[in-house]
Structure 1
């Protein structure tokens, strides 16, 4: 793909060569710095390809956005600087504008939605100092942008667009120049996350101008794929709604400039789902010990999908890790979904007979697989319905596990790709049961090691019925399970003796007020 004029020949600045010239003279290094191009050794070994990570999460504001924001503001004339700038953002662009304002001595008003995480609002104020005012308006980025445009007109200020501006695009394009300088060897493809398209447009333009043989592959979240849809349709479109997990790239409509550049210089755009993004976050952590935000991991998720479909590449694969402004409260969700995203966990609903010995047969059917989750509540006199997560080592094991369950005459439903089950139903199994008479509730701790839960289940074969069982592996040193056991009051002394003989520390929770309110029959 050669650098060429876009369809609007009256605007010759929209070429790869012209973006390259702007990028070569960009002033980003007055505030940003060259970031590392690191080898992802673990991921490379798994994929059979040389995988390199462009670490834009190492910038002072923990994302690439500083490059474009600063370059745009550095180009302002003296009278424009005196009037100040306005920006709208939910996070990373706001931090870039704030730091640029502080360094350049320009007053900035940054409009953020009231739903913006407090950690990001605080960061904007910290980076901008006395030069930045934060205005909270509206529930979404669109609301914030509308307020920013109103203020822009009222104050006669300059609007610093997060992506659809040539100076912003040129600032982001310097990442492409760094990649080419850092890796002059055989380069197969560069994977770039896409929101509004500024990063992809800039990187694609300069790399195609210098090395047109290198593929540029954009990556979007499947529920925020405005660029992919626009390229498919041949024109910009506006999405009614976008998913917010990858909030840094949740853009309903891409820019006019960015669309034109991507249309000519981006080779393809891949869509990845939430589970794949979570798995990519973990991949980056394992190789770098850093935690990117969801949008920051998009490129790695797309790279993995590309290799899965095309096989090992004949040259290096570069993924741009675009940011690390992760909300801490998302980490639990990410850890939960990464196993499924990497297909290291299969999730099933299995129906077994409600009779003595069924749990034991179920554990035997698992073979050497470790249980990652086990949820059960008595609800039927004849059939027990179990929600179970099982650790898998490679693709295809789901089918083998399902076949093993069926070979034992257990009905099985594969829930690994069921969003409702993974997000909600796994937490809702239980409740009151009229069959749970004479139930006692116990919490156990036991050393967490492969097969530990199976061994625990294997020993739980007294004369009393198990009416409730909950376990979830959270990667801790000790596993924690909750067990309901039905035993008449006359046998409680025997039950306590049995529990003591198991050798696991336990707590009797039968009088816990929450249990008695929500679960007790």
Structure 2
């Protein structure tokens, strides 16, 4: 698909994209966040791409690409594959430019995202739900492109898309009074990081641009480490906006040269950030949008006293996922623990467990007997939420001393997934 010459987006091309996007993509605010600034003793700014009309930066690349097509390509229509934000950007662009688009989405895509795509595209888009993963949708989309001579709008591995996403970088530089020391950018397929890092490389070369991926989908980090674009065998799809098995060839080549560093963040940490941003700042971020803020914890010594910006890439969070987000956050913080509890064969064992084994602030959040018969003596799977991490050791000691301890499930992922 691509030649061997490495493509780097020029400032002229990105400035041209900015002109194309005038009146379509919002110039999003760069807000200083007082809470984070105080917490990290640094100047922390958030580039609020979650405030775009489609609630993510994806409108920039999608519109820039579709607008650049020839009259014949526009007449034939376009196709894309996306699990969410790119689909919304494409749908909105199709309606604005009055071009017909077919959008392939994986069947498990949250209903809220499918409805948003339909709302933005109106009668200019057709949505096809197919396959279990983005890769399945991608294959179906490419097939239709080939058969019907339509243009495929790639979510990240495309020059015009990268140039469109690069406009986030131009705006950032424009909004800053003084240069940044650090810029944290979420990375999925690499379109945003490729575009933005190209701008900073040319206009603010001293800024350390750091790419952030979910721990369960480190495709860019793996590729940069291997010095070759590497496809991962499996990915954890929780951070759906940034979980790709393989980054773009174009984006890999650019990020390899431009990024100061590539790092990963555990999914549980991302969940903590989502809850904190909502509860403390009244800001809704999706998992991918929380990556750049989540990573601050791992750089707290380095960024002290520095000027730092985090790109908040999107806010398309499905509210039905809140219990899962809370659970992952508690597990990550070591406040939620699952045990197999074996009740001793003595009268009142359950009452004894609740009254004497549990600490005053411990809460049972999950309880299920493993056998439906012989309940009094059968083992049970018990989920316990603690007030403090330090409450775990004494709890386990009390369970062992009184012969209640069966097994600890948090460290046993296979059994954990099976039982919970």
Question: CA–CA distance in 1 between the matches of 2:246 and 2:160?
Answer: 20
Aligned partners of 1:41 and 1:287 also within 8 Å:
no
Aligned partners of 1:280 and 1:301 also within 8 Å:
yes
The one of 118, 124, 132 aligned to 2:111:
118
Match of 1:336 in 2: 327
Deviates most, 192-201 or 416-425: 416-425
Match of 2:315 in 1: 324
Match of 1:519 in 2: none
Q: Using a 3 Å threshold, how does the CA distance of structure 1 residues 97 and 381 change in structure 2: closer, same or farther?
A: closer
The one of 154, 158, 172 aligned to 1:161:
154
State the Cα deviation string for residues 365-385 of structure 1 (Å, max 9, x = none).
Answer: x4xx73243666797879999
Deviates most, 277-286 or 77-86: 77-86
Question: CA–CA distance in 1 between the matches of 2:382 and 2:130?
Answer: 47
SS of alignment partner, residue 30 of structure 1: coil
Aligned partners of 2:343 and 2:377 also within 8 Å:
no
The one of 12, 30, 36 aligned to 1:37:
30
Match of 2:52 in 1: 59
Aligned partners of 1:113 and 1:143 also within 8 Å:
yes
* Aligned: 1:294 with 2:287: yes
Match of 1:174 in 2: 167
Question: CA–CA distance in 2 between the matches of 1:383 and 1:61?
Answer: 49
SS of alignment partner, residue 35 of structure 1: coil
Report the CA distance between 1:325 and its aligned residue.
1.6
Match of 2:16 in 1: 25
Aligned partners of 2:184 and 2:310 also within 8 Å:
yes
What value does the CA root-mean-square deviation take over the aligned residues? 3.1
Question: CA–CA distance in 2 between the matches of 1:357 and 1:292?
Answer: 43
Question: CA–CA distance in 2 between the matches of 1:44 and 1:82?
Answer: 50
Aligned partners of 2:338 and 2:381 also within 8 Å:
no
The one of 65, 75, 93 aligned to 1:100:
93
SS of alignment partner, residue 22 of structure 2: helix
Question: CA–CA distance in 1 between the matches of 2:416 and 2:274?
Answer: 19
Equivalent residues in 2 for 1:425-444 (5 A)?
Answer: 425=419, 427=420
Question: CA–CA distance in 2 between the matches of 1:155 and 1:291?
Answer: 39
Report the CA distance between 1:298 and its aligned residue.
1.7
TM-score normalised by length of structure 2: 0.85
Aligned partners of 2:364 and 2:382 also within 8 Å:
no
Question: CA–CA distance in 1 between the matches of 2:133 and 2:152?
Answer: 18
- In structure 1, stretches of 5+ residues that fail to align are 1-6, 428-521
Question: CA–CA distance in 2 between the matches of 1:84 and 1:223?
Answer: 35
Match of 2:181 in 1: 188
The one of 362, 371, 377 aligned to 1:371:
362
Report the CA distance between 1:362 and its aligned residue.
3.8
Report the CA distance between 1:175 and its aligned residue.
1.0
TM-score normalised by length of structure 1: 0.70
SS of alignment partner, residue 216 of structure 1: strand
Equivalent residues in 2 for 1:5-404 (5 A)?
Answer: 10-11=5-6, 14-15=7-8, 18-26=9-17, 27-307=20-300, 310-341=301-332, 343=333, 345=335, 347=337, 349=339, 361-362=356-357, 366=359, 370-373=361-364, 387-392=383-388, 397-398=389-390, 401-402=392-393
Question: CA–CA distance in 1 between the matches of 2:418 and 2:32?
Answer: 38
Report the CA distance between 1:56 and its aligned residue.
1.1
Report the CA distance between 1:184 and its aligned residue.
2.8
Question: CA–CA distance in 2 between the matches of 1:372 and 1:358?
Answer: 12
Query: Which has the higher Rg, Structure 1 or Structure 2?
Result: 1
Aligned partners of 1:402 and 1:414 also within 8 Å:
no
Aligned partners of 1:373 and 1:390 also within 8 Å:
no
- In structure 2, stretches of 5+ residues that fail to align are none
Report the CA distance between 1:60 and its aligned residue.
0.9
Q: Using a 3 Å threshold, how does the CA distance of structure 1 residues 29 and 344 change in structure 2: closer, same or farther?
A: farther
Report the CA distance between 1:420 and its aligned residue.
5.7
How many residues are treated as equivalent by the alignment? 403
Q: Using a 3 Å threshold, how does the CA distance of structure 1 residues 370 and 312 change in structure 2: closer, same or farther?
A: farther
Question: CA–CA distance in 2 between the matches of 1:101 and 1:89?
Answer: 15
Q: Using a 3 Å threshold, how does the CA distance of structure 1 residues 69 and 384 change in structure 2: closer, same or farther?
A: closer
